[in-house]
Amino acid sequence: MAQVIADRRDVDFVLHEQFKVAEFSKHEKFAEFNKKVVDMIVTEARNLAIKEILPTQKIGDEEGCRFEDGKVAVPESFHRAYELFVEGEWLAMPEDPEWGGQGMPKTVALAASDYFNGANYAFMMYPGLTHGAAKLVEAFGTDEQKKLYLKNMYTGKWTGTMLLTEPEAGSDVGALTTAATRNDDGTYSITGNKIFISSGEHDLTENIIHPVLARIEGAPAGTKGISLFLVPKFWVNDDGSLGEFNDAVCTGIEEKMGIHGNSTCSLSLGSKGKCRGLLLGEENKGMRAMFLMMNEARLLVGMQGLACASASYLYAVNYAKERVQGKNLLKMRDADAPNVPIIQHPDVRRMLISMKSYVEGMRSLIYYMAYLDDKHATEKDPEKAAKYQGLIELLTPVAKGYVTDRSFDICSTGVQVYGGYGYIKEYPQEQLLRDCRITMIYEGTNGIQAMDLLGRKLGMNKGKPVMDLLSQMNKTIAEAKDAGLEDLAERFNKGVNKLGEVGMHMGSLAMSPQVLAAFAFAHPFLEVTGDVVMAWMLLWRAAIAKSKLGKSKKDDLFYEGQIKSAEYFIHSVLPISIGKMIAILNSNPAAVDIAEDAFGGK
C-alpha cells in the first residue's frame, strides 16, 4: 500500500541527493528545517496520505458530488480527511506563520504534496485552490483585506476558488462579460455567469472566497480592461463575522469524465442584484494579478499529472511482479516450464522502464521548480535571483504542458500492463487514466502552454533564461563525464545542441511571415524541449547515482536503476526526439495551408 502513491526512496533521493534541501537551513529564513525535520515532515505527510486520504479516492470517485437547490455536498469521507488535513496545518506549508503557514521551503512542501495528490488529487483541489486564492490576497490585498481573509484561508477555515471562465470566454479570457459597478460604499456590484469552477460550491467549510475577473463599467475592451475582485459566498463584516448570503448561486455541477470528487460548478453572480465584491489590487490590472495564481495553479496541475503517473507506475510494477501469465521467453519450448510473473516478459519490462524513467524525470523537474523558488527566496544577489526567476518562468509551460501530456501516456501504459483488468473499475488504473486527462486541459490547455513557450518565454529577456538553461545542462554533461558516464553525456549533448538549433529556428520563424507555420509547430517544440529536459534530469540523477555506487549495498539497486533509467531514455527516446527536431526544422506548413473545407465535416 505504501508504494502506490510515491516511492519514498525516490522522494528522498530528489530532496537530499539531487537538491540537498537541508542546506537551506543555513539561511535564517529556513533555519529550523534541517534534514531530520524535513524527513519528519515527509513521513507525517506520507502517513496522512496513505491512512486517511487514499481511502477516499475510490469512494469519492464512486459517490461523486451531489447538487440540490443550489447547494453541493461532497463525498462524505472527504469531511474527516479535510479536518485532519487542516488540523495538521498542511494547507499553507511554505507561507508565513503569522498568517497560518509553517514557513517551510517550497521544495519540502512539494514533497508532502506529492503524497497528498497521489492519494486523491480531486480532494486536494479544495485546499490547493484555496492556497492559490489566498496568495492573491497576500500579494494584492489591502491590510484590511488581509486581516479579514488571509488567515482564515491559509488555515483552511474558509476555502477559495478562481472565477475566470465564462460560456463564451474560455481560453480567450479577454472576451468575458461579467460586469462590476461601483457602489458608494467602495464595494462593487458584480453580475455575470462563470462556468467550470473547481470547488465552486461545497459543504466542507462555512465560507468560500471567490477571486473574480470582471470588467468595470467603461473599462477598455479585452484583457486590458479586466479587474480582479474578492467575492465571498457569505459577506464578511468588518469585525470578521459572516453576514448575509452574497448572491453567488451555484446553478449546477458538471458530470465529468474524472475527478468526480471535486465539484465543478456553474455560478451565477448577482442574479438578484445582491452580489458585492471588493477590488483586489488596481483597476484594469486584474489579468496581471491573476497570473500569479494561474502560474501557481499550472505547477499544481503538473504535480497532479505526476501524482497520477507515479501511482500508475507503482501499481503496474506491483501487479507485474504478482500476475503470473505465460512462460519465460527462453523456455517457451519447454512443456514443463512453469508460468512466470509478467515482469519477466521483455515487452512488459519495456513498458515499465519507460514509465519509470518518465516518472523519475518528471519528479525531478517538478521539485526543481520549487527548488528554484527557494533559491530565489534565499538569494541576496539580484542578478542570481533574476536568473532563478527566469528559469521558473521558462520551465513553467514544460512543467505543466509536457508533464501532463506524458503523465496521461504513462497512465495509459499502466492500463496496458494490467491488460483487460486495467480497463475495469475493480482496479485503480482506469480511474487514474480518467482523472489524469483533465490536467492536459485546465489552467491553460497544453496548446496554450506551447504557445506561451514559443511566443513569450523563448525570447524573454533577450533569450537569457534559455541560455541559463543550456548552461545548467552543460554543467550536468561535465559532471556526468567526471562520473564515468561519457557515452550518455555525449549522446545527451547532441540532443542539447540540436534543441539549441531548433530554438533559434523557431524564434526566427515566429518573427517572419511564416508565423502561422511556427505556431503550428509550437506543441512539437514543447514536446522536444520537454524530452531534452527529461534527459537532463535523468542524466543528472545518473551522475549522482554513479558516484555513490558500491558505497552501500542496500542502495546499490536503487542507484543502478537510476543509471538504467537514463540509459533507456537517452538511447531509446532522445533519438526519436532528435527526429522530431528535424521535422520541426523542416517546418512543413501543411497544417496551416490546408483549406478549411478540405478537413471535411458537416
Under 8 Å between Cβ of 535 and 495: yes
- Cα separations (Å) of 299 from 365, 395, 449, 567? 10, 10, 12, 28
Q: Which three cell numbers stand for residue 378?
A: 534565499
Q: Tell me how far apart the alpha carbons of residues 425 and 436 are, in angstroms, rounded to a whole number.
A: 15
Place of cell 492559490: 132
Ramachandran assignment for 335, one of left (phi > 0), alpha (psi -120 to 50 degrees), beta (any other): alpha
227 - beta bridge partners? 214
Q: Tell me how far apart the alpha carbons of residues 312 and 433 are, in angstroms, rounded to a whole number.
A: 8
Q: Which three cell numbers stand for residue 243?
A: 453576514
Ramachandran assignment for 600, one of left (phi > 0), alpha (psi -120 to 50 degrees), beta (any other): left
Q: Which residues contact 510 (CB under 8 A, 6 or more apart)?
A: 454, 455, 458, 518, 519
Q: Tell me how far apart the alpha carbons of residues 195 and 396 are, in angstroms, rounded to a whole number.
A: 25
Amino acid at position 540, single letter: W
The candidate with the shortest Cα–Cα distance to 132, out of 161, 168, 110, is: 161
Under 8 Å between Cβ of 565 and 541: yes
596 is known as an active-site residue: no
Q: Which three cell numbers stand for residue 548?
A: 555513490
10 Å CB burial of residue 292 (0-12, 13-18, 19+) is middle
Q: Tell me how far apart the alpha carbons of residues 161 and 70 are, in angstroms, rounded to a whole number.
A: 17
Place of cell 486523491: 120
Q: Which three cell numbers stand for residue 542?
A: 545518473
Q: Tell me how far apart the alpha carbons of residues 534 and 409 are, in angstroms, rounded to a whole number.
A: 15
- 3-class SS string, 420-483: HHHHCCCCCHHHHHHHHHHHHCCCCCHHHHHHHHHHHHCCHHHHHHHHHHHHHHHHHHHHHHHC
- 3-class SS string, 365-385: HHHHHHHHHHHHHHCCCHHHH
Kindly name the residue from 254, 430, 443, 527 that is annotated as catalytic. 443
Q: Tell me how far apart the alpha carbons of residues 563 and 572 are, in angstroms, rounded to a whole number.
A: 14
Amino acid at position 415, single letter: V
193 - beta bridge partners? 268
Q: Tell me how far apart the alpha carbons of residues 596 and 498 are, in angstroms, rounded to a whole number.
A: 33
In this structure, what DSSP letter does residue 218 have? T
Q: What is the CA radius of gyration of the chain?
A: 25
- Cα separations (Å) of 220 from 67, 172, 283? 37, 16, 11
Amino acid at position 346, single letter: P
DSSP states along 20-47: -GGGGGGSGGGTT--HHHHHHHHHHHHH
- Enzyme catalytic residues: 443
